[in-house]
Protein backbone atom coordinates (compact mmCIF):
# COMPACT_ATOMS: atom_id res chain seq x y z
CA UNK A 1 0.00 0.00 0.00
CA UNK A 2 1.36 3.36 -0.98
CA UNK A 3 0.84 5.87 1.78
CA UNK A 4 1.23 9.59 1.78
CA UNK A 5 1.98 11.17 5.14
CA UNK A 6 1.02 14.80 5.39
CA UNK A 7 2.04 17.23 8.10
CA UNK A 8 1.06 19.17 10.03
CA UNK A 9 -2.52 18.02 10.49
CA UNK A 10 -3.68 21.41 11.66
CA UNK A 11 -2.22 24.89 11.38
CA UNK A 12 -3.62 28.09 12.80
CA UNK A 13 -1.68 31.24 11.96
CA UNK A 14 -2.04 35.00 11.75
CA UNK A 15 -2.51 36.81 8.49
CA UNK A 16 0.85 37.66 6.94
CA UNK A 17 2.74 34.69 8.32
CA UNK A 18 4.48 32.08 6.19
CA UNK A 19 3.87 28.35 6.40
CA UNK A 20 4.94 25.06 4.86
CA UNK A 21 2.95 21.84 4.51
CA UNK A 22 4.79 18.58 3.86
CA UNK A 23 3.79 15.43 2.05
CA UNK A 24 6.07 12.37 2.39
CA UNK A 25 6.07 8.79 1.22
CA UNK A 26 8.42 5.85 0.95
CA UNK A 27 7.05 5.25 -2.55
CA UNK A 28 7.85 6.93 -5.82
CA UNK A 29 4.97 8.65 -7.58
CA UNK A 30 4.75 9.44 -11.27
CA UNK A 31 3.12 12.73 -10.36
CA UNK A 32 1.88 14.53 -7.30
CA UNK A 33 -0.91 17.03 -6.91
CA UNK A 34 -2.08 19.52 -4.34
CA UNK A 35 -5.74 20.29 -3.78
CA UNK A 36 -7.57 22.83 -1.61
CA UNK A 37 -11.02 22.16 -0.26
CA UNK A 38 -13.32 24.73 1.30
CA UNK A 39 -16.31 23.81 3.48
CA UNK A 40 -19.25 22.60 1.45
CA UNK A 41 -17.20 22.12 -1.69
CA UNK A 42 -15.18 19.38 -3.31
CA UNK A 43 -11.39 19.55 -3.52
CA UNK A 44 -10.05 21.81 -6.26
CA UNK A 45 -6.78 21.10 -8.01
CA UNK A 46 -4.06 23.68 -7.35
CA UNK A 47 -1.04 22.21 -9.09
CA UNK A 48 0.52 19.06 -10.54
CA UNK A 49 4.24 18.33 -10.32
CA UNK A 50 5.82 15.55 -12.33
CA UNK A 51 9.58 16.03 -12.49
CA UNK A 52 11.94 15.37 -9.58
CA UNK A 53 13.14 18.69 -8.16
CA UNK A 54 10.42 20.63 -9.93
CA UNK A 55 9.29 23.92 -8.40
CA UNK A 56 6.03 25.60 -9.37
CA UNK A 57 4.69 28.92 -8.20
CA UNK A 58 1.08 29.99 -8.05
CA UNK A 59 1.01 33.59 -6.78
CA UNK A 60 1.97 33.27 -3.08
CA UNK A 61 2.04 29.46 -3.19
CA UNK A 62 5.24 27.56 -4.01
CA UNK A 63 5.14 23.83 -4.66
CA UNK A 64 8.19 21.58 -4.75
CA UNK A 65 8.56 17.97 -5.79
CA UNK A 66 11.43 16.07 -4.19
CA UNK A 67 14.34 14.93 -6.32
CA UNK A 68 13.38 11.28 -5.79
CA UNK A 69 9.66 12.01 -6.42
CA UNK A 70 8.72 10.65 -2.99
CA UNK A 71 7.89 13.90 -1.25
CA UNK A 72 6.52 17.36 -1.85
CA UNK A 73 6.02 20.61 -0.04
CA UNK A 74 3.64 23.53 -0.26
CA UNK A 75 4.88 26.88 0.98
CA UNK A 76 2.53 29.83 1.41
CA UNK A 77 4.01 33.29 1.76
CA UNK A 78 2.14 36.02 3.62
CA UNK A 79 -0.94 33.90 4.24
CA UNK A 80 -4.35 35.50 3.81
CA UNK A 81 -7.71 34.54 5.37
CA UNK A 82 -8.75 33.38 1.90
CA UNK A 83 -6.10 30.67 2.11
CA UNK A 84 -8.11 28.97 4.85
CA UNK A 85 -9.14 25.45 3.93
CA UNK A 86 -8.16 21.80 3.84
CA UNK A 87 -5.05 21.10 1.78
CA UNK A 88 -4.62 17.63 0.35
CA UNK A 89 -1.69 16.12 -1.48
CA UNK A 90 -2.30 13.22 -3.83
CA UNK A 91 0.08 10.88 -5.60
CA UNK A 92 -0.62 9.17 -8.87
CA UNK A 93 -0.37 5.38 -8.67
CA UNK A 94 1.12 3.83 -11.79
CA UNK A 95 -0.89 4.70 -14.86
CA UNK A 96 -4.24 3.40 -13.73
CA UNK A 97 -5.86 6.78 -13.11
CA UNK A 98 -5.83 6.15 -9.36
CA UNK A 99 -4.75 8.72 -6.85
CA UNK A 100 -3.65 8.16 -3.25
CA UNK A 101 -4.53 11.05 -0.95
CA UNK A 102 -2.67 12.31 2.08
CA UNK A 103 -4.44 12.81 5.40
CA UNK A 104 -4.88 16.52 4.80
CA UNK A 105 -3.82 19.73 6.53
CA UNK A 106 -6.44 22.07 7.92
CA UNK A 107 -5.18 25.64 7.60
CA UNK A 108 -6.84 28.52 9.37
CA UNK A 109 -5.57 32.02 8.74
CA UNK A 110 -6.80 34.57 11.24
CA UNK A 111 -7.11 38.23 10.37
Count the alpha carbons within 13 Å of 97 in the hemisphere toward its beta carbon.
0
Q: Is the peptide bond before 8 cis (omega within 30 degrees of 0)?
A: yes
From the CB of 11, what's the least distance to other proteins, in Å?
Answer: 12
From the CB of 71, what's the least distance to other proteins, in Å?
Answer: 17
Tell me whether residue 22 or residue 101 sits nearer to other proteins (CB atom): 101
Instruction: Give the binding site for other proteins (CB under 8 A).
Output: 6, 30-31, 33, 35, 39-45, 48, 50, 86, 88, 90, 92, 95, 97-99, 101-104, 106
How many CB atoms lie under 10 A from the CB of residue 73? Answer: 17
Tell me whether residue 9 or residue 111 sits nearer to other proteins (CB atom): 9
Q: What SS3 state is found at 81? A: helix
Tell me whether residue 78 or residue 107 sits nearer to other proteins (CB atom): 107
User: In sequence order, what are the beta bridge partners of 65?
Assistant: 72
Amino acid sequence: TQLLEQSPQFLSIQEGENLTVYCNSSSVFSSLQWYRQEPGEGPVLLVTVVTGGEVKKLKRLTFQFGDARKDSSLHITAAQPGDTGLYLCAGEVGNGNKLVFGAGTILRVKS
